[in-house]
Structure 1
Amino acid sequence: MRIEEIRVRGTVQGVGFRPTVYRLAKAFKLRGDVCNDGQGVLIRVSGSEENLTEFVAKLQQESPPLAKIQELSRTSYEGEFDFDDFVISSSVSNIIKTEIVPDAATCPQCLQEIFDPFSRFYRYPFTNCTHCGPRLSIIHAIPYDRHNTSMSVFAMCPECAKEYRDVENRRFHAQPVACHICGPKAWLERADGKPVTASMFSMMDDVDAVCTLLQKGEIVAIKGLGGIHLACDATQEIAVEKLRQRKKRYHKPFALMARDISIIEEYCTVNAKEKELLTSPAAPIVLLQKKVIEIKQELLIQHSIASSVAPRQNSLGFMLPYTPLHHLILKRMNCPIVLTSGNLADEPQCIDNDEAREKLNKIADYFLFHNREIVNRVDDSVVRVVSEKVQTIRRARGYAPATINLPPGFDRVPQILAMGSELKNTFCLLREKEAIVSQHLGDLQNAAAFNAYQKMLNLYLNLFEHKPEAIAIDKHPEYLSSKLGKELACVNQTKLYFIQHHHAHIAACMAENSIPLNSPPILGIALDGLGYGEDGTLWGGEFLLADYRQFQRLATFKPIAMIGGEQAIYQPWRNTYAHLLAAQLWDTCQRQYTELGIVKFLKQKPLKLLNQIIEKQINSPSASSVGRLFDAVAAAIGIFPEECSYEGQAAIEMESLIDINSLNNYEETNNYHFDVVFLDNIYCIEPAPMWQALLNDLQQQIPQKTIAAKFHKSLVNIIVEMVNLVRQEHLIDRVVLTGGVFQNRILLEKVTKDLQSLEINVLTHSLVPTNDGGLSLGQALITAAQLINN
């Protein structure tokens, strides 16, 4: 007989792992115990060599649905061992090296129970088990036990306690287990403070009443899993437009929720991979292609999606119900609902009842509240499928804070904190063999978002007992995350590392593709809005030969003035004018193209003043930004030239115009041309010839969608041409595509395809966003590489 200590690390707490260990140990007639501790799960076990080996093999094969074993080690146990049977022991608190499980969507068994009139969980909106339910959203501390969650205030009734203690029950040690008798309660309130009466509408209960309210065109604020959402019937134009005006979110698409896949398929095409994502435990918002619906006289769809849900977009963001509360609300709802974050534009999502009453009472008509505290705000994740690969747009509920394994060579890194960016912020904790990237925390320019960021950072540092030996920040001196990082480094006397923005983008993509530490340099193409460059200018269209430690800038797009600085992000015409000036075409415009809409539009602007601002370099920094190039072209062809309500809006709408089939049929000679010049020891892409050709097309009244398609294809061509050019001087067989511009599906797919045809291995993002949401991972890896090197 052997006595062993088996250590299991990974996602193994709060997922039914110990009951699985117990069941298998009993099956193989083993003695000993299993417990949770700060490092994961610890098993002390005695049995024959053969049975122990079989036990370990089965444990890995039959792990619970939400479990993820990262490491399993077996050693001889020399301590005191006094077990006659196999038991589950109490949790032990010690150094924290385990994971927190992401919140998980309602499992099939719980779903069946909430609609079974004979179940004690019938219509209970907080039903859960070890296979599903709240995790990160309710946790205060590790280990993940009930007293460390917001469920600690709800004492279990005898029935729940019995199931909680029954090792054969799937609710064994399910920390949020509760029922009608002992658990949280949901209730309906009117926003105007008047009482809700049963006579107002027929309803089974307050949760069911929400469906009736939505059908009547009301806006309801619903407290869910990780935050409060605002909901309305997505097929009622008046209700959706009312929500837009009240929320002050005038253009950005709304997310949708539908009862089941069949309803989604009425409006969108859904392939197998997209269906898999929708129905996964993460249950993210999935961006889907709109169906082209043939309208026939008597077959006109009565419940078509309101046009103001996603204005001028060819895709919709759908999710399925992921809590019992959502399932119960949508049971009678035969059309989709809008389900958008409960906040004013740009502010963090409300999570507290009183906060919602104060901030949302002018937006919502009704509130559906509950009394389970949301400890940690967790937004809905957003993903899509591009060429059969998942691309994460926003990593939050269902995915965070699941760890990301570090590539080979990073096995023994010190603890590192990376502070992330200013927009779409996440932060990252690096520790031995793994990275913990926070959920999406939003844009830190908003004071409430920055306060929430600091609170969440403190929580993570405490949860994981993380004491960084180094802090990584973006080089931009004005980023609030960078300023906070400097303060933390100063107060704690910690080493501070300044990481270049685009190098971090590339390193993040390398890391999630498991590129080893000591790999030769890779060509990274980082295209985005802007990032602070090594030379003190703003970059945004970069070709960098990079490894984890350093990079060499090989090529860039021509720097163009951002007139008015940040104003250029939200007023695309500023970029158009700056590009026309830089291309020395404005005088030509006033002579030859006077009838063009964009020329007439620009002539109404204070151009003399703008020229002086550019000449004197007053708040008009030069930027090699491809994001601003997209804005400039979009404005030139008449898409939101005056004002955008969110960054990249004009570029996104320009992409939506394009018919993919016509895009593929353009002859090479019809494309626009970019020049390549060699300037200051790097190649520079000059867009002037493209602008001349584009103006000619506008004058010939070539359709908007055709010009948009030609621009996209021409940009693809110059990117591939540049790769060919630099690989004549450098050994390049792998290329990273990263940065927010590569959220453009057409650009990503076509650049990838064309580079692969040149036998180049193309690396893209999947686990973390290609936008700034993935930046903190790259910052952490570069810092680790430099520390290891030193």
Structure 2
Amino acid sequence: MPEQRGRDINREHLSITIQGLVQGVGFRPFVVRLAKRHRQNGWIANTREGVALAIEGCAECQQQFLDDLKNQLPPFAEIKSLTITRQALEGFHDFQIKASRAEGGPSVFVLPDSATCPDCVRDIFNPASRYYHYPFTSCCHCGPRYSIMTGQPYDRAQTGMAAFTVCPECAQEYHSMDKRRFHAQTIACPNCGPQLKLLDDSGNPVAEKHNALTIASLNLLAGKIVAIKGIGGYQLLVDATNQQALERLRQRKHRPQKPFALMLPDLAIAQQLCFISALEQAALTSPAAPIVLLKRRDSGKLADAVAPDSKLLGVMLPYSPLHHLLLDDFGLPIVATSGNRQNEPICINDRQALTRLAGIADYFLTHDRPVVRPLDDSIVRLINGNITVLRRARGYTPLPITLKTAMPDTLAVGGQLKSTIAVSHDRQVILSQHLGDLDSEASQQQFQATLADLQQFYQIRPTTILHDLHKGYTSSQFAGQPGVKTQAVQHHYAHALACMAEHGLEPPALGIAWDGSGLGTDNTLWGGEFLLINNQGFQRYAHFRPFSLPGGVKAIQEPRRAALGLLYEIFSDGVFERLDLPFSAQELNLLQSALAKQLNCPRTTSAGRLFDAVASLLGLCRINQYEGQAAMILETSAASEIFDNHYQFRLNQFRLNPGDPIVIDWQPAIEQLLKDIPHCTHEHIAAKFHNTLAEIMLAIAERAGQKTIVLSGGCFQNACLVEKAVRKLKTAGFNVYCHEKIPPNDGGLALGQLVAANFIGEPRCV
């Protein structure tokens, strides 16, 4: 006994709990290897909150173990909290991975889906590997995660892989500490894992396994449209060099001009088609593998129908083994667009695909691994030297956003367009994947399903639900839950708070929130707002001079109507004497009557509609074929000219009441712009207009006297505008913050709404 006490005197038992990104990243295998290296016995197990482990060994070795644990983490792993308690020795004889424990609440730290790692890519192209040509190869460091999880903790039994029993070879690899797939929950091979199949447009089997992929590739080459079941749902694929095939896809999908995204076989081909900076290359090849908006080269290698009249291409690289194998076999660029009908969510199973994509897809390349939740491809863009997320879904969701202060469980339901949902727990906010616009029954059903999924998956019991001020939004109508308080949050206030939350900023700040429109507290359409944010809420400090939108919603679809509204504001009925108005005589008669009587001519302060109006006045785009087309064309025109001249504007500071906002009068700018049209290029005028907007921001910022400025709203997806504004404001000494990880568009609204719960008054109960 004395000898035993001597051996134990320098040994200690440490009980450790860890929270963070520690599931689905190879963390347990990493700890096992670490324990062996530092001569520690004990165990590790997944829990609902993270991982729990116990180690016994000499104290000096334990300190080395803890140092390496923090400093040598596997890829994608991140420790948010680590708690250590000393306990009595238990006499462990080895180190084991124990069965997961269902203790504690669910973790808010769940790993997104990750693109195929280089090692797995090598496996699927290595004839000597048992994973050769297997389209569902993955390991501890890559593959589907959030898209296939049915619950927590992250174990095979709580994923879409639960139905696939591992074969002896996979079981041996799973239990081999020296293997890359040691305790990889998605391990599978051709003998025991999911299988590929090709269906025709009636759902009849055409081919199986690798033969299915080969025949799908041949059909792409023949100009057919192939629906493929990817990581987060279906995509529609077509040969990007085949003009007729692309025109057929556009016709079937009712998408006449909106650019399609491309999937390219490799980075070398991407560099042939686009100019790619180091940051853009890093985004392309990152584990998130998003679509990256890139400046296109005049290569002549793509069909015109890929992205008509666009100077940008949306490009992604293969991010699953299935994509790698298909692109390698096909060898050419392919269009890869969301597998859905217009205004509907993407399909995630064969039943949905065969029904909703009937009449669009000629073939369906599918498999029997379930997709648990739909995840679109994410979209990013380089803006002002930073990669900015414009659509947050696969590869980014559901990574949490950390707040400065803790909140009770809260739910926010976002807006009507580019919909997302947010839930909070303690200091963490989980923002759902992009859900799209809520205009169709199918999209509304998906919204409700996601609402339930988030609350169940994270075991959130909200005390308050936040929604947009607009009661007509579908999301606002879904906000009510029995016994739960609800609170409306003004649209542009939510935009500003989302940017502040992303950067960990506290009030006060000046929020510049510019977008298409959002309901204001005065029941009019706002959209060109300067808001002073404080601890009690916000003050509307300045906004653009209002103008009419003849036809209401039609003016969003037709920039020519926004232009007419501007001109009517300046010239009144005299505008109808102009000979250059892009309307028929009958249309002009109706519009003149409507404007005179202000029938269906809502007033707006929208910066987005100003962009539309100027694009129409320049003849660049008078009717949008897709959302934001006019503004994008105007930005493209402006980006080719670099100078500082700007148009004049007025700041109307006459206030009937203390606290009334400054009104920014755009009339001098529009009058000068009209005079420039006969003499100057569209590029010159577009650049001068962008310069004017940046100058307006500076003028208001200098008067507001607030050094912290946040830029938010859909207008700040415009790289030209952001770069001009940030440069001007920073030169003047302001601290300027833009979105990076959270979309500046309505995809970030839910985050801002949720944060508003800290600043707004007592909510009401429904």
Deviation track 1:240-288 (CA, whole Å, cap 9, x = no partner) reads: 1111111111111111001110000111011111111111110000111
**How far apart are 1:529 and its partner, in Å?**
0.7
1:745 corresponds to which residue?
719
Could you give the per-residue CA deviations for residues 598-628 of structure 1, whole angstroms, max 9, x where no partner exists?
Answer: x2x2463534433443454443321110111
The DSSP-based 3-state class of the residue aligned with 2:739 is: coil
User: What is the one-letter code of the residue matched to 1:654?
Assistant: L
Q: 2:603 aligns with which of 622, 628, 631?
A: 622
Deviation at 1:547, TM superposition (A): 3.5
Letter in 1 for 2:757: T
Residue pairs, 1:588-737, within 5 angstroms: 590=577, 593-594=578-579, 596=580, 599=581, 601-602=582-583, 604-641=585-622, 643-660=623-640, 663-665=641-643, 668=645, 671-680=646-655, 681-698=660-677, 700=678, 702-727=680-705, 732-737=706-711
* Alignment CA distance shift 1:679-1:332 (3 Å): farther
Within the candidate set 171, 183, 186, 2:181 is matched to 171
- Structure 2, gaps ≥5 residues long: 1-10
Match for residue 564 of structure 1 among 551, 572, 579? 551
- Identity percentage of aligned residues: 42
Say which SS state the counterpart of residue 150 (structure 1) adopts.
coil
Residues 263, 334 of structure 1: 8 Å contact kept: no
**In the alignment, does 2:527 pair up with 1:540?**
yes
Offset of residue 365 of structure 1: 1.7
Q: Which moved more, 1:373-382 or 1:614-623?
A: 614-623
Pairwise CA distance, 1:82: 4.8
> Pairwise mapping of residues 100-115 of structure 1 onto structure 2 (< 5 A)?
100-115=110-125
Q: 1:773 aligns with which of 747, 756, 760?
A: 747
Aligned to 1:754: 728
Structure 2 residue aligned with 1:501:
491
2:98 aligned with 1:89:
yes
Asked if 1 retains the 8 angstrom alpha-carbon contact of 2:233 and 2:339, the reply is yes
| Superposed displacement of residue 23, structure 1 | 0.8
Equivalent AA in structure 2 for residue 222 of structure 1: I
Moved more, 581-590 or 645-654: 581-590
Q: Deviations over 1:369-388 (max 9, x none)?
A: 11111110000000011232
Structure 1 counterpart of 2:496, one-letter code: I
Q: CA deviation at 1:788?
A: 12
Q: 2:355 corresponds to which residue?
A: 358
Q: Is 1:373 the equivalent of 2:370?
A: yes
Query: Does 2:469 correspond to 1:475?
Result: yes
Report the Cα distance in structure 2 between the residues aligned to 1:133 and 1:382, rounded to whole angstroms.
19
Deviations 1:439-466 (A, max 9, x none): 1011012221111011011111111111
Per-residue Cα deviation, 1:27-71 (whole angstroms, up to 9, x for no partner)? 111122111111101112222322222111101222121212112
Helix, strand or coil for the counterpart of 1:433?
strand
Does residue 9 in structure 1 map to residue 15 in structure 2? no
The Cα of 1:562 is off from its aligned counterpart by 2.3
Aligned 8 A contact 1:425 1:442 in 2: yes
Counterpart of 2:127 in 1: which secondary structure?
A: coil
**Which letter does structure 2 place at the counterpart of 1:712?**
H
Work out whether residues 186 and 369 of structure 1, in 8 Å CA contact, stay in contact via their aligned partners in 2.
yes
* 1:322 and 2:301 correspond: no
Distance apart, 1:130 and its partner CA: 1.0
Shift of 1:710: 2.1
* Match 1:143 to one of 114, 136, 153: 153
Residue 235 of structure 1: which of 235, 238, 241 is its match? 241
Distance change (3 Å), C-alpha of 1:474 and 1:438:
same
1:193 to 1:171, Cα distance in 2 relative to 1, 3 A: closer
The residue aligned with 2:514 is 527
Distance 1:446 1:192 in 2: 25
Alpha-carbon separation, structure 1, partners of 2:421 and 2:652: 38
Shift of 1:308: 1.5
Give yes or no for contact 2:642–2:687 (8 Å, CA) kept in 1: no
1:676 aligned partner, one-letter code: L
- Give me the whole-angstrom Cα distance separating, in 1, the residues matched to 2:86 and 2:761: 35
Q: Is the 8 A contact 1:413 1:788 kept in 2?
A: no
8 Å contact kept, 1:441–1:449: yes
Change (3 A) 1:52 1:105: same
SS in 2 for 1:355: helix
TM alignment of 1:155-304, pairs within 5 A:
155-192=165-202, 196=206, 205-293=211-299, 304=301
Q: Would the aligned equivalents of 1:137 and 1:375 in 2 still touch at CA under 8 Å?
A: yes
User: Which deviations, in whole Å up to 9, do the C-alpha atoms of 1:123-163 show, x marking residues without a partner?
Assistant: 00000011001111111111111111111111111111122
Secondary structure at 1:168 match in 2 = coil
**Quick check: 2:349–2:371 contact (8 Å CA) kept in 1?**
yes
Q: Which amino acid aligns with 2:519?
A: Y
611-620 vs 379-388, which moves further: 611-620
Cα-to-partner distance string for 1:333-382 (whole Å, 9 max, x where unaligned): 33311000111122111111122112223111211111111110000000
Q: Equivalent residue of 1:606, what SS?
A: helix
**What do the CA deviations read for 1:139-197 (whole angstroms, capped 9, x no partner)?**
11111111111111111111111222223322122222111011111111222566647
Alignment of 1:22 with 2:2, yes or no, is no
When structure 1 is superposed on structure 2, of 41-50 and 125-134 the one drifting more is 41-50
Judge conservation of contact 1:428–1:780 (CA < 8 Å) in 2: yes
- TM-score relative to the length of structure 2: 0.94
The answer to whether the 8 A contact 1:416-1:784 is kept is no
Residue 210 of structure 1 aligns to which amino acid in structure 2?
A
Displacement of 1:204: 6.0
CA shift, 1:645, in A, is 2.7
CA contact (8 A) 1:507 1:547 kept: no
Query: Which amino acid in the other structure matches residue 423 of structure 1?
Result: L
Which amino acid in structure 1 is aligned with residue 666 of structure 2?
A: P
Paired residue for 1:338? 335
Q: Which residue pairs with 2:3 in the alignment?
A: none
Specify the alignment match of 2:426 in structure 1. 432
- For the structure 1 residues 194 and 403, does the alpha-carbon distance in structure 2 shift closer, same or farther, using more than 3 Å as the test? closer
Name the CA distance, whole Å, in 1 between partners of 2:694 and 2:126: 55
Number of residue pairs matched? 749
Aligned counterparts of 1:586 and 1:757: Cα–Cα separation in 2: 43
Equivalent pair of 2:108/2:430 in contact (CA under 8 Å): no
CA distance in 1: counterparts of 2:740 and 2:61, whole angstroms: 40
Instruction: State the alpha-carbon separation in 2 of the partners of residues 454 and 262 from structure 1.
Output: 42
Q: CA deviation at 1:639?
A: 2.6
Matched residue SS, 1:151: coil
Give the equivalent residue in structure 2 for 1:418.
Answer: 412
Instruction: Give 1:760 deviation, angstroms.
Output: 0.9
Match of 1:42 in 2: 52
Give 1:536 deviation, angstroms.
Answer: 1.6
Structure 2 CA distance for partners of 1:77 and 1:537, relative to 1, 3 Å: farther
- Distance of aligned partners of 1:604 and 1:77 in 2 relative to their CA distance in 1, 3 Å threshold: farther
Task: Tell whether 2:538 aligns with 1:551.
Answer: yes
Residue by residue, what CA displacement relative to the aligned partner does 1:265-316 show, whole Å, maximum 9, x if unpaired?
A: 11101111111111111000011111245xxxxxxx5xx1111111111110
Distance 1:263-1:4 versus aligned 2 partners, 3 A rule: same
The one-letter code of the counterpart of 2:253 is K
With over 3 angstroms needed to count, the CA separation of the structure-2 counterparts of 1:621 and 1:589, relative to structure 1, is closer
Partners of 2:226 and 2:95 in 1: CA distance: 50
Offset of residue 475 of structure 1: 0.9
Check whether the contact 1:220–1:367 (CA below 8 A) recurs between aligned residues.
yes
